[in-house]
Amino acid sequence: MWLTDVSIRRPIFIIMFVLALIVMGFQSRSRMPAELNPRIDFPYITILTTYPGAGPNEMETLVTEPIEKAVMSIGNLRNVTSSSQDGVSTVVMEFELGTNLDAAAADVRDKVSAIRRNLPEGIDEPSILKLDIASEPIMTIGLAGPLSPKEMRILADEVITDRLAKIGGVAAVNVVGGEEREINVAVDKQRLDAYGIGLDKIVQAIKAANLNVPAGSIKEGARDYSVRTVGEFVSADEIGNVRIYLPATAGRTASTVRIADIATITDTIKEPDQLSRLNGKPSVTITIQKQSDANTVDVAQGIKDELKALESVLPEGVKPIIAKDDSVFVKDSLHDVNKSLFEGILLVVVIVFLFLHTARATFIVAIAIPTSIIATFLPISAFGFTLNTMTLLALSLVVGILVDDSIVVLENIERHLRMRKQPRQAAIDGRSEIGLAAITITAVDIVVFVPIAFMGGIVGQFFRQFGITVAVATAFSLFVSFTLTPMLASRWMKSEEEKERDEEEQKLRLATGTATLKDRVDALTGRVFGAMERFLKGLDRRYRGVLEWALTNRFLTLVIGFVSLLVVFAMAMPGSAVFGHVSLGRMVVAMLAIGLSVAATYHSRSKKIALGFGV
């Protein structure tokens, strides 16, 4: 093979090329985001619309049905399901797999915007949501301290949230709990009836008065003054002074009435729709979402650094407590997989040494395997893959494939060395002799794993990175076995003449008592390897006996093999699942209390559960 010949004749070139692959591989690995699982695009888009005060029937006829009709014409749409509840309309759209969800979400947004004027005026702006696992909060922080709930909420909204939102990779910072300020306007129904005023007039009057309106500019000589009318409310009393115009009717002249005369305005606390408690005490909770392409570990570390910097800004006694941190589980999982990968490589090297009986050949294998793995990071990083359990699992699995190429090459080179050839010629002939077979074996491995990357459905997306990583690492292993392995073998492995000379000199030193420590170690390992060879020869004789029996009783052998296969399938089927059960060390209790407020639900049910857990 010309590639092997060039590698042996130009060792500096191949060494520099391999070093370049290693450097770029390390660089690519350092830039790959660390995640628990691969990124998966679920083909679902949800349209969430809220209409306070509307019942299920009104939500269905006024909101849900118009939205369903509007989005039915979008391409690649598979199913549309909807649900209408008190004040909430949910429309879930399922698209065909492979659909560009960004483009589909833009189409949905355009369709909803086109019918926006046909929807009731009191609804909130419809939210277009894509089902994205990466958008789940990666960290939950609770604030504990001596401040009142209102002060804690203000601190979270005006200080902590702004600082955390500036961290690279953070997509959103949400605050739950505490007390939010609310201006409550409680109207008197009898006075409204007496004046003939509807609620809509009060709402319109407040909206019209609570504005800052630009009023042009005034020029005075060389100066230009901007003029604006300031009308935004500063206190609750200003709302009470807003006047509502009452047109003239039969028996009554036109007049105005203050809102304070027909309603009671109070500066109070908003009724909570969510409660937050930390270790059994009321608190303010901050949840942080990362960007879909951000690194979970890096973002979490940035949040922790910012929280440490906030210690000098927060009031005395206020401490942010991290209640949930997904980066810990991600780091632990990736550490376990990396540990398994390292242990696999180490065990392979030890086993190779025990069977090849030579440290030089073992060292070549120990160089070839990490080289192939590190170089694999370069293309998989270019493909947009992340460091997750599937890519690292693929690298752990492929260790067994990587070692095959190197062992086959070294064994054949060793055979040519025993034919009294020089190491350089033995390396060329040994590699060339099995070159086509090695290419065929590698092609078979690639053909087996590449289709895994193109399976359909959600499972196919999950295993895509696994299949491609195995295929790329196998291809790099073939390249290393054609270049680096024979090049190192041509320079490090000894010819038969050198081996015989070294053995004679070693025996002479042992006989004369001038043996070095290396001589004694070599003699000891020689006896150990001799015992192993005798054991393997005995194992080989027993295997020959079993093989002769199998060839003599072919039908019975086929029956035993078929029954064994059925037993394996029977053991694998019950309880099989694509994603195994993984414990995150957390427990979530979900309850549905129809007709109860948030506070009543907590005091009637959640408090009992919390006390049961001792929090």
614/142: higher pLDDT: 142
User: Nearest 5°: CA angle at 25, between 23 and 31?
Assistant: 105
| Residues 195, 198, 201, 204, CA torsion sign | positive
Contact 289, 171 (CB under 8 A): yes
Out of 119-133, 161-175, 492-506, give the one with best mean pLDDT: 161-175
Share of the chain above pLDDT 90, in %: 8
Share of the chain above pLDDT 70, in %: 91
Q: Which pLDDT belongs to residue 359?
A: 79
Q: Which pLDDT belongs to residue 357?
A: 75
In the predicted model, what is the mean pLDDT of residues 587-598? 59
326-356 and 389-417 are packed helices; what angle lies between their axes, rounded to 10 degrees?
10
CATH fold of the domain at 2-37+330-572: Multidrug efflux transporter AcrB transmembrane fold (1.20.1640)
Q: Which pLDDT belongs to residue 19?
A: 93
In the predicted model, what is the mean pLDDT of residues 30-55? 83
Residues of the chain with CATH 3.30.2090.10: 182-269
In the predicted model, what is the mean pLDDT of residues 151-175? 87
In the predicted model, what is the mean pLDDT of residues 603-612? 54
Q: Which pLDDT belongs to residue 16?
A: 92
Q: Which pLDDT belongs to residue 472?
A: 93
| Residues 520, 523, 528, 531, CA torsion sign | negative
Which of these, 171, 192, 313, lies nearest to 261 by C-alpha position? 192
In the predicted model, what is the mean pLDDT of residues 262-282? 77
Count Cα atoms within 13 angstroms, Cβ side, for 427. 27
Matching residue, tokens 């994205």: 132
98-110, pLDDT tens digit by residue? 788 888 888 999 9
In the predicted model, what is the mean pLDDT of residues 187-200? 83
435-449 and 389-417 are packed helices; what angle lies between their axes, rounded to 10 degrees?
170
Residues of the chain with CATH 1.20.1640.10: 2-37+330-572
CATH code linked to domain 134-180+273-329: 3.30.70.1320
- Secondary structure (3-state) at 307: helix
Q: Which pLDDT belongs to residue 26?
A: 92
User: Nearest 5°: CA angle at 323, between 318 and 324?
Assistant: 145
463-483, pLDDT tens digit by residue? 888 999 999 999 999 899 889
100-156, pLDDT tens digit by residue? 888 888 899 999 998 888 888 878 888 888 876 666 788 888 888 888 888 888 888
How far is it, in rounded angstroms, from Cα 176 to Cα 165? 16
Q: Which pLDDT belongs to residue 261?
A: 85
How far is it, in rounded angstroms, from Cα 221 to Cα 112? 51
- Secondary structure (3-state) at 120: coil
Q: How far is CA 216 from the centre of its chain?
A: 52
Out of 395-409, 542-556, 591-605, give the one with best mean pLDDT: 542-556
CATH code linked to domain 182-269: 3.30.2090.10
Least confident of 249-258, 388-397, 459-468, 561-570: 249-258
Which of these, 294, 301, 305, 289, lies nearest to 328 by C-alpha position? 301
500-531, pLDDT tens digit by residue? 787 777 777 777 777 787 777 777 777 777 78
In the predicted model, what is the mean pLDDT of residues 173-191? 84
DSSP string, 186-201: EE-HHHHHHHT--HHH
Contact 449, 464 (CB under 8 A): no
Q: Is the pLDDT of residue 78 over 70?
A: yes
The alpha carbon torsion through 296, 297, 300, 306 (nearest 10 deg) reads -130
Q: Which pLDDT belongs to residue 25?
A: 92
Question: Which tokens go with 111?
Answer: 């369709």
Q: Which pLDDT belongs to residue 608?
A: 53
Residues of the chain with CATH 3.30.70.1430: 44-131
Q: Considering the chain, what is the average pLDDT of its residues?
A: 82
Q: Is the pLDDT of residue 253 over 80?
A: no
Which of these, 430, 473, 467, lies nearest to 447 by C-alpha position? 467
Confidence band of 268 (pLDDT split at 50, 70, 90): confident
In the predicted model, what is the mean pLDDT of residues 302-313? 89
CATH code linked to domain 44-131: 3.30.70.1430
How far is it, in rounded angstroms, from Cα 335 to Cα 383? 23
Q: Which pLDDT belongs to residue 596?
A: 57
Backbone angles phi, psi at 452, to 5 degrees: -60, -35
How far is it, in rounded angstroms, from Cα 280 to Cα 497? 80
Question: Which tokens go with 230?
Answer: 């300031």
Confidence band of 341 (pLDDT split at 50, 70, 90): confident
Residues of the chain with CATH 3.30.70.1320: 134-180+273-329
Backbone angles phi, psi at 186, to 5 degrees: -100, 105
